[in-house]
Amino acid sequence: MSTLALPRAVLERWKRPDVSWLAVRVWQRNRDVFMNIWKSEAIWPFVEPLLTLVALGFGLGDFIELEGQQSYIEFIGPGLLGAYAMWMASAEACWGAYFRIDQKTFDAILSTPATIDDVTSGEVLWASTRSLISVVCIFIVVLVFGAIVSPLAVLIFPLSLLPGLMFGSISLSYAAVARSVSSLNYFFAVFITPQFWLCGAFFPLDQLPGWVQAAAWFTPAFHVVEIYRGLATGNPEWVHLANLAWMIVVTAGFYALAITLMRRRLVK
């Protein structure tokens, strides 16, 4: 494939998405699968952030002094919420969707009145739902550890849906061009994991060189953590609206990309 083949294929396939109510039917299919397995998996969304919180919050946190009176637990609480919201939505739309492509689950759906755009939209909606579920679980953990200071933090629940749509769209775009499982690992190693550590969830970015701070602004997870931290600590600022706008624009762009790449992958 020449370097230009992919952008050209995307442009050729662009037309207004043909999305209907059936996108919710696709979402329901994923919910059914989740309900089949959640009992055996319910413990993990709690365990992993709990371990991270204990190890970093109490272990490492003792060595860390932050500006003002803020404890380290209060600092990483909202960071964990943002980082795991990204992780869950991406895992679902990347691994999950890749296997559904591979197992021909979507091919079966396409022979019903549902369109490929319904499938793409249903998948992104489901990734967003996984983000919300994950945020609810972790919220309980960080609340118990006293990492939530302000009642404004309840706004994090509705605001977990947008990052879910954003990471869902980005990851689904990648899954739609991935040709093997190992290339999904690559996506996580190069894109998701560095964001996890460098989005400002675990340490303040202002201690880092200026160019790293500038680079962080271009990573989606940074904006999620900024907003969550503002709400959890009770310090919402106008700049958070800019973070929100940034996410809306990126979400819209990647949703359009996911739509065209999924058409390219599944409609032949």
Partner 1 sequence: MQQEIIAARALTKRYGDFTAVDGISFSVQRGECFGFLGPNGAGKTTTIRMITGVSPVTDGSLAVDGMHAQVDARGIKSILGVVPQDDNLDLELTVRQNLRAYARYFDLPKQVAEARIDEILTFFQLADRQKDRIDALSGGLKRRLTVARGLLNSPKILVLDEPTTGLDPQARHMVWQKLRSLRSQGVTMLLTTHYMEEAAHLCDRLVILDQGRIIAEGTPAELISAHAGRDVIEVHATPDERLAVLRYLEGRQGVMVEEGGDILYVYSDGQNGFNPASLRDLAERVIYRNANLEDVFLKLTGRGLAAE
- Interacting residue ranges for partner 1, rule: CB under 8 A: 20-22, 25, 28-29, 32-33, 36, 103-105, 107-115, 267-268
* DSSP state, residue 67: S
The nearer residue to partner 1, 16 or 268, going by C-beta atoms, is 268
C-beta of 14: minimal distance to partner 1 in Å?
15
At residue 100, what is the residue type?
R
What does the alpha-carbon distance between residue 116 and residue 129 come to, in Å, rounded to a whole number?
20
The nearer residue to partner 1, 21 or 238, going by C-beta atoms, is 21
The nearer residue to partner 1, 114 or 192, going by C-beta atoms, is 114
What does the alpha-carbon distance between residue 20 and residue 239 come to, in Å, rounded to a whole number?
35
The nearer residue to partner 1, 118 or 226, going by C-beta atoms, is 118
C-beta of 238: minimal distance to partner 1 in Å?
44
As to burial, measured by CB atoms within 10 angstroms (0-12 exposed, 13-18 middle, 19+ buried), residue 10 is middle
Residue count of the chain: 268
At residue 5, what is the residue type?
A
Q: With beta carbons less than 8 A apart as the criterion, state whether 19 and 117 touch.
A: yes
Using DSSP, state whether 150 is helix, strand or coil: coil
For residue 1, what are its two tokens? 């494939």
C-beta of 136: minimal distance to partner 1 in Å?
23
Three-state secondary structure readout of 123-191: HHHHHHHHHHHHHHHHHHHHHHCCCCCCHHHHHHCHHHHHHHHHHHHHHHHHHHHCCCHHHHHHHHHHH
C-beta of 165: minimal distance to partner 1 in Å?
22
The nearer residue to partner 1, 121 or 195, going by C-beta atoms, is 121
The nearer residue to partner 1, 104 or 248, going by C-beta atoms, is 104
The nearer residue to partner 1, 103 or 183, going by C-beta atoms, is 103
C-beta of 106: minimal distance to partner 1 in Å?
9
C-beta of 141: minimal distance to partner 1 in Å?
28
**Residue 93, C-beta contacts closer than 8 angstroms, at least 6 positions apart:** 123, 124, 126, 127, 167, 168, 169, 170, 171, 172, 175
C-beta of 256: minimal distance to partner 1 in Å?
20
C-beta of 111: minimal distance to partner 1 in Å?
4
The nearer residue to partner 1, 94 or 156, going by C-beta atoms, is 94
What does the alpha-carbon distance between residue 229 and residue 28 come to, in Å, rounded to a whole number?
32
What does the alpha-carbon distance between residue 147 and residue 95 come to, in Å, rounded to a whole number?
31
